[in-house]
Structure 1
Amino acid sequence: MILNINHKPIVAIALLSSLSSFAQQSNNPATEATADQVQHGFWKNPNLKYTATEWPVDDDDLKFWDVPKLEKAFIDTALTDRNDGLVIGKLGVDGGDKDMIVKLAQEIADGQHDEIDSLLITHKGKLVFESYYSWGRANLTHPQASATKTYTGLALGRAIQLGYLTMADLDKPVVSFLKELDPTKLVAGAEKITLHNALTRRTGIRISEEQREEFEKNPDQVKGQRLVLTILGQSEPITSENLNSFSYGAYSTELVMQVIDAVVPGSAEDFIKNELLGKMGITTYRWLPGPSGLPAAGWKSSLTSRAMVKLGTLAINKGKWDGEQLIPEAFITKSTNRIITTGDYKVYGGGKDISNQGYGYLWWTADMKVGDKSYLSASAQGGGGQFIILIEKLDLMVVVTSHERHPSTLQLTAERILPAFIKDEFPALEGPYLGQKPPG
């Protein structure tokens, strides 16, 4: 158990002393940086030793990579309620094998796995495990990279819930929502691209690298809806064949963000702030603009690990947060289920127990094998190893942030975390056979 001295949210801890016990926190207060020190770069002081799980990060000048690494990992199996909207549980009491998860956490702290910055686990709606390593802090936002795509999809779902769009509108052409476009300047077939195509990354758009470089040289070409005009004016013609082909690039999420901005009152930026993130009490985040001036739809967001847990909770609860339906259940179902199969070549974060990779509405899907059983997972994924992994059948969520170029997060989840929550199905298994069928 981790003891929060005087119930303060900032704590310093020691690593595990064994698989079943922790070194107790002393009364030595954790180091805090003042607002002035943060603003003037005090975090770069090599003589300042950070061992806290969190510290003030209100200033926009503070960059994630400027934060010193934690000297010791923070590993907590008996969490304190931070009154941030998350329901707190207890590992081993509210589900999960405590020893198995603690052992994995110690291995991460010892550098035996990916370069992980945080690992959080929820089970049956309760946060039961929280840990931070390296650059991880409880209230420090972590770059999300392409996980931002998933959040863009959730923002579209919020617009549907509020009546600015309907589920039927997902089958309408994207250009029908963008009134500033001149249809005579678009390539043949541009009107065939629907929101459904964009959400499943099958827009048929084909832009060369040379064209992308030209866009960057002429920023006026991509401001506002001119971005769509430029893309759909210079792409290869949109064919039915291309519309059925999954393409990770192809400006799919940019089209989604453009529609959000076009249909909601005010700006997409304010809508995301007030109607999506704000509704869940997520106020500490960064979401920078893309070339169009709208929030970057495919990257450039930065969230805390607990905010990631909230967004994952919204999804695993079928669009509900704190009893309120923020996103239609039908939209979440589409998002987190396999609409198309993308193939198993180079599955990001995958391994021997991960197969049948697919895609929903800006969520990746894959089967996770444990013994002779298979569990469908849905995940937000960001370069560098950012994951929100949902396993609906187990009512389980795993959140990971890291700085790993080639992560193994999905495989690690299947191999080490899922067995801890389905151990009762394999009561006789131990050691290397844990979570697998016994030999013979």
Structure 2
Amino acid sequence: MAINSHLKNSLVVVVFVVFGGVSALSAVADNSSAPTATPEEAKIKHWGMPEIGLSFTDIPELEKAYVDATPSDMKDGIPVGKLNTSESNKDILFTLAKEIFKGKHGNYDSLLIAHNGKLVFESYYKRGRVDLSHPQSSATKTYTGLALGRAIQLGYLSMADLDKPVYSFLSELDPAKFVEGVESITLRHALTMTTGIVLSQEQWKNIRENPSEFKGQKEVQAMFEQSEPITPDSQTFRYGTGPGIVMQIIESVVPDTAENFIKNELFGKMGITNYDWRTAPNGLPAAGWKASLTSRDMLKLGILAQDKGRWRGKQIIPEAYIAEATSRQVYTGDDDIYGGGKDVSNQGYGYFWWGTDLTYDDKQYVSTSAQGGGGVYIMLVDALDLIIVVTAHEREDKTQQLVAERILPAFI
């Protein structure tokens, strides 16, 4: 065991010669072991936690980056390998790692890369820790969609149900009070955020600030009563509407609560235990944000999606559902691509997954990603069998452009 550990550390030092020798390595990277959270830091699950008087900004920044091209097998179900590319391509990634540590590209906390189904590059910066769950922001939407897929796999719903009106799953609603057109909102509309629901800022504020009045399905009832009429013209992509309805349907169809269903039937089946998922004012898990996961557990969900809904050989989510979820069901335009740049185009949306084309050397590579504000990504590039996981606390990130420009060429 001691010999293997010595060899591994030696290999890591060798590939880091690109930084300018061992002295340069020691100045920017610590490869003795992946950084871990203290008991106090481990309490921090979200950007702000007033209940314990701490916030994500209270986590001290690492004095040195941790960068490993032969990641450790942590017995967590993630296959590991080594970065098996040419020396020049390794140089691309390690130079990028050095730039990330120096803050050139924003406030990155972690960058993990899996290739051919194995974790081959693992790095932590600033507030990144291997065992610290990181705020996911809107990537939570993706996990809500995966939970629905799990319900389909277990037979609580079917693929045909995606085209049924959402109100038909919610027995506590009163259709007599709906505005015109609510019956046209299907589960597929909710998954693609094309419900057509339009409420004023004051109406949303009233729902948000009076949670006791909108527990459970009362929130959906209010939306269906107060929205402008639903028409084919209104059922276009509108970011934000949909995830809460999906979570309501999960709560309605599974035999246990949605919270326990996620814990036992989705995350539990994949060994994901070090997470937090906050409760929304309606009493259900917050469907659009407020989950928190470690970078390695994010990678697990990327592996699940890239392997067509299978985890360690077992079908967790239907292959047909994953295929639709990760495909661009609607095109949202290129005017506002989060983390984009000159080499990122053709943005679209699936079932809470984003899709773009990444261009390198005049060739386009299809990417699919879970995305969260602050710079959180699980990005799949199937043509290269790549999964890229990023956590960060950078509002103006350029991660998709960085992947196109600096990571793709290392695997082409």
Q: TM-score normalised to the size of structure 2?
A: 0.89
The residue number in structure 2 matching 1:353 is 343
Residue by residue over 1:364-407, the C-alpha shift from the partner in whole angstroms, topping out at 9 and shown as x without a partner, is 00001011211110000000100011011111011101111111
In structure 2, the residue corresponding to 1:83 is in which secondary structure? coil
The residue number in structure 2 matching 1:418 is 408
CA distance, structure 2, for counterparts of residue 29 and residue 101 of structure 1? 20
For residue 399 of structure 1, the aligned residue among 375, 389, 392 is 389
For residue 164 of structure 1, the aligned residue among 141, 146, 156 is 156
The residue number in structure 2 matching 1:124 is 116
CA distance, structure 1, for counterparts of residue 141 and residue 278 of structure 2? 13
Query: Which piece of structure 1 moves more, 402-411 or 208-217?
Result: 208-217
Amino acid of the structure 2 residue aligned with 1:234 = Q
For residue 210 of structure 1, the aligned residue among 202, 211, 221 is 202
The residue number in structure 2 matching 1:335 is 325
Question: 1:39 touches 1:61 (CA, 8 Å); kept in 2?
Answer: no
The residue number in structure 2 matching 1:137 is 129
In structure 2, the residue corresponding to 1:241 is in which secondary structure? coil
The residue number in structure 2 matching 1:429 is none
The residue number in structure 1 matching 2:251 is 261
The residue number in structure 2 matching 1:247 is 238
The residue number in structure 2 matching 1:89 is 81
Q: CA deviation at 1:361?
A: 1.0
Amino acid of the structure 2 residue aligned with 1:334 = E
Q: CA deviation at 1:96?
A: 9.5
The residue number in structure 1 matching 2:288 is 298
Question: 2:37 touches 2:132 (CA, 8 Å); kept in 1?
Answer: no
Amino acid of the structure 2 residue aligned with 1:180 = E
Structure 1 unaligned segments of length 5 or more: list them: 8-12, 42-58, 423-440
The residue number in structure 2 matching 1:55 is none
Residue by residue over 1:161-181, the C-alpha shift from the partner in whole angstroms, topping out at 9 and shown as x without a partner, is 000000000000000000011
CA distance, structure 2, for counterparts of residue 347 and residue 33 of structure 1? 33
CA distance, structure 2, for counterparts of residue 261 and residue 322 of structure 1? 27
Question: 2:101 touches 2:125 (CA, 8 Å); kept in 1?
Answer: yes
Structure 2 unaligned segments of length 5 or more: list them: 8-12, 45-50
Amino acid of the structure 2 residue aligned with 1:268 = A
CA distance, structure 2, for counterparts of residue 316 and residue 30 of structure 1? 26
Amino acid of the structure 2 residue aligned with 1:113 = H
Amino acid of the structure 2 residue aligned with 1:126 = K
Residue by residue over 1:273-293, the C-alpha shift from the partner in whole angstroms, topping out at 9 and shown as x without a partner, is 000011110000010011111
Asked whether 1:288 is paired with 2:278, we answer yes
Higher relative contact order (CA 8 A, sep 6+): 2
Q: CA deviation at 1:100?
A: 1.3
Amino acid of the structure 2 residue aligned with 1:73 = A
RMSD: 2.8
For residue 142 of structure 2, the aligned residue among 139, 150, 157 is 150
CA distance, structure 1, for counterparts of residue 31 and residue 314 of structure 2? 41
Question: 1:88 touches 1:126 (CA, 8 Å); kept in 2?
Answer: yes
The residue number in structure 2 matching 1:277 is 267
Q: CA deviation at 1:218?
A: 2.1
The residue number in structure 2 matching 1:314 is 304
Asked whether 1:103 is paired with 2:98, we answer no
CA distance, structure 2, for counterparts of residue 40 and residue 144 of structure 1? 16
CA distance, structure 2, for counterparts of residue 295 and residue 391 of structure 1? 30
For residue 364 of structure 1, the aligned residue among 351, 354, 358 is 354
CA distance, structure 2, for counterparts of residue 154 and residue 30 of structure 1? 29
For residue 379 of structure 1, the aligned residue among 351, 369, 382 is 369
The residue number in structure 1 matching 2:228 is 236
Residue by residue over 1:229-277, the C-alpha shift from the partner in whole angstroms, topping out at 9 and shown as x without a partner, is 111111111112112x110023x10000000000001100000000001
CA distance, structure 2, for counterparts of residue 68 and residue 381 of structure 1? 25
For residue 189 of structure 2, the aligned residue among 177, 191, 197 is 197
Return closer, same or farther for 1:151/1:385 CA change in 2, 3 Å cut-off.
same
Return closer, same or farther for 1:96/1:329 CA change in 2, 3 Å cut-off.
farther
In structure 2, the residue corresponding to 1:240 is in which secondary structure? coil
The residue number in structure 1 matching 2:47 is none
Amino acid of the structure 1 residue aligned with 2:316 = L
Q: TM-score normalised to the size of structure 1?
A: 0.84
Count of residue pairs the alignment pairs up = 394
CA distance, structure 2, for counterparts of residue 186 and residue 95 of structure 1? 63
Question: 1:193 touches 1:203 (CA, 8 Å); kept in 2?
Answer: yes
Query: Which piece of structure 1 moves more, 22-31 or 288-297?
Result: 22-31
Question: 2:192 touches 2:352 (CA, 8 Å); kept in 1?
Answer: yes
Amino acid of the structure 2 residue aligned with 1:154 = L
Asked whether 1:74 is paired with 2:66, we answer yes
Return closer, same or farther for 1:276/1:32 CA change in 2, 3 Å cut-off.
closer
The residue number in structure 1 matching 2:10 is none
Return closer, same or farther for 1:159/1:87 CA change in 2, 3 Å cut-off.
same
Return closer, same or farther for 1:32/1:287 CA change in 2, 3 Å cut-off.
closer
Q: CA deviation at 1:65?
A: 2.7
The residue number in structure 1 matching 2:173 is 181
CA distance, structure 1, for counterparts of residue 31 and residue 341 of structure 2? 43
CA distance, structure 2, for counterparts of residue 343 and residue 284 of structure 1? 36
Residue by residue over 1:91-143, the C-alpha shift from the partner in whole angstroms, topping out at 9 and shown as x without a partner, is 02599932211111011111111211100000110000000000000110110
